[in-house]
Amino acid sequence: MRYLESIPGVSFLSAATVVGETCGFNEINSAKQLTSYAGFDVVLKESGNFRGSTKISKKGNKHIRSILYMPSMTAIRVNPTLREFYLRLKPNKAKPIVALVAVQRKLLLLMYSLYKKEEFYSPLPQEKTARALSPCCAG
């Protein structure tokens, strides 16, 4: 739980709900499977030449989707990586909620990867890799 709470905007209640609803990610084998389980997978409505709208399926776990709403709102204010992602998507979408749902999905996948790797959140991963590659501290 500490790994998930290290993400800015994620509270104990949010982390506990996600871990509880997924049974500790035991049955989840991939990020794609988790996306589908939570109902964040995209459904295309098209037939022949007809091209309809694309929406999330909402066939998954409604508790995960509802609990990630407020952490995603907080994350776009305090998390620089997710804020940049949201601001990049927002102008391209018809409604801001579409970009917010994308942030929710990304936040869920971030929680999954941190839980599986047992790592704390690092706000800027490019700095982490740059530090690992720099020879300044070799000795």
Whether the per-residue pLDDT at 37 is higher than 70: the answer is yes
Distance in angstroms (rounded) separating the CA atoms of residues 22 and 115: 12
- Tens of pLDDT, residues 55-95: 888 888 999 999 999 999 999 999 988 999 999 999 988 88
CB burial of 123-132 (b: ≥16 within 10 Å; e: otherwise) equals eeeeeeeeee
Whether this model's pTM surpasses 0.85: no
The residue type found at 92 is N
Q: Residue 112: which region, alpha, beta or left (left: phi > 0; alpha: psi -120 to 50)? A: alpha
The half-sphere exposure of 7 on its side-chain side, counting CA atoms within 13 A, is: 30
How many domains does the chain divide into?
Answer: 1
For the stretch 112-127, pLDDT in tens is 999 999 999 987 655 5
Q: What is the mean pLDDT of the chain?
A: 86
Give percent of the chain with pLDDT exceeding 90.
61
Domain coverage including residue 57: 2-137
Do 15 and 27 contact (CB within 8 A), yes or no?
A: no
- Residue 41 in tokens: 């997978």
